[in-house]
Amino acid sequence: MKRFFLSIKKFEEEPYSKILGYPKASKSQLKSRISELEKLKIELISFSGPTIIDKVSILGKGYVGVVVLAKKGRKNVAVKIRRTDSQREEMKNEAELLKTVNAVNVGPKFFDVSKNIIVMEFLEGEKIGNWIKNLCGKGSVKKLKDTIRSILEDCYRLDQIGFDHGELSSISKHIIIGKTKPTIIDFESSSIKRRVSNVTSVTQAIFIGSGIAKKVQRIYKVPSKENIIAILRNYKQEQTRQNFEKLLKILKL
């Protein structure tokens, strides 16, 4: 899909200013944020994506920020802009969390940060729920199994470094399936101070709980909930590679 990019100066005009200073910002706040974008070498913005705010399309919106597609030099990047009503005073803590998961090859790549803005890798793809819904035809079982295994391996790596994503129970919002691999996104609620439950949360979301579980079961036959829960209980008690492998085996991955 062809995207049109506009100068970041468009952020000074309505309705685009609503995005830069969502949900409400003063002229001085908007000016300051445009200055931040310039220092981060972000010159062009594309108002495109599945989320709409005041008839303006963007990539996404969360409790902490809104995400837009931009260009840094010739590279497409995702730019997360802190909401003016966010309880977070700055974006640098989230940037540190993103750097932590990048160290074990998880998440979109971190590029740069300022007080109100994070610049990271733009991931072309679709949310996992839509991807599974549209999965059909020859090879769909293998494709689904390979994708789920890849996601669980990422979750296992996070568990091993004591990093809890925090929102993987609502998996449909936090995993994007790209052309080459799936990626866990949005680490704004993450923590290294609480008990980790990444593998557990994703397994329950894909195989036990949600509408996604029903879609998965239409593509391949999975074991009973009781069997999955029993193996998960063992894994929760001891998050070893051996117990993780037992989980993969029962899930036929």
138 & 243 share domain: yes
Q: Check: CB of residue 80 under 8 Å from CB of residue 42.
A: no
Domain limits for position 86: 6-121
Please work out, in degrees rounded to the nearest 5, the angle formed at the alpha carbon of residue 186 by the alpha carbons of 178 and 233.
90
92 & 116 share domain: yes
pLDDT at 2 over 90: no
200 & 138 share domain: yes
Residue 246's SS3 state is: helix
14 & 84 share domain: yes
98 & 195 share domain: no
148 & 230 share domain: yes
What is the pLDDT, as a whole number, of residue 59?
95
10 & 51 share domain: yes
pLDDT at 247 over 90: yes
Inside any domain, residue 1: no
Banded pLDDT at 99 (limits 50, 70, 90): very high
Average pLDDT over residues 10-18: 94
Residue 26's SS3 state is: coil
Joined together, the tokens standing for residue 88 give 């977070």
What is the pLDDT, as a whole number, of residue 211?
83
pLDDT at 136 over 70: yes
Tell me whether the omega of the peptide bond preceding residue 23 falls within 30 degrees of 0, making it cis. Answer: yes
Residue 110: what residue type? F
Joined together, the tokens standing for residue 46 give 């594309």
State the chain's mean pLDDT as an integer.
94
Q: How many domains does the chain have?
A: 2
The residue among 229, 219, 223 whose CA lies nearest residue 249 is 223
Banded pLDDT at 232 (limits 50, 70, 90): very high
Among 121, 137, 162, the domain-final residue is 121
Q: Check: CB of residue 98 under 8 Å from CB of residue 187.
A: yes
117 & 129 share domain: no
Q: Which of 3-17, 140-154, 202-216 has the lowest mean pLDDT?
A: 202-216
Average pLDDT over residues 54-73: 95
pTM: 0.93
Banded pLDDT at 1 (limits 50, 70, 90): low
Banded pLDDT at 252 (limits 50, 70, 90): very high
Q: Which of 46-55, 65-74, 121-130, 206-215 has the lowest mean pLDDT?
A: 206-215
91 & 41 share domain: yes
Among 59, 91, 121, the domain-final residue is 121
- CATH number, position 229: 1.10.510
102 & 139 share domain: no
Burial of 249 (0-12, 13-18, 19+ CB in 10 A): exposed
222 & 131 share domain: yes
Burial annotation 228-245 (CB, 10 A radius, 16+ → b, else e): beebbeebeeebeeebbe
Among 81, 102, 121, the domain-final residue is 121
178 & 150 share domain: yes
pLDDT at 210 over 90: no
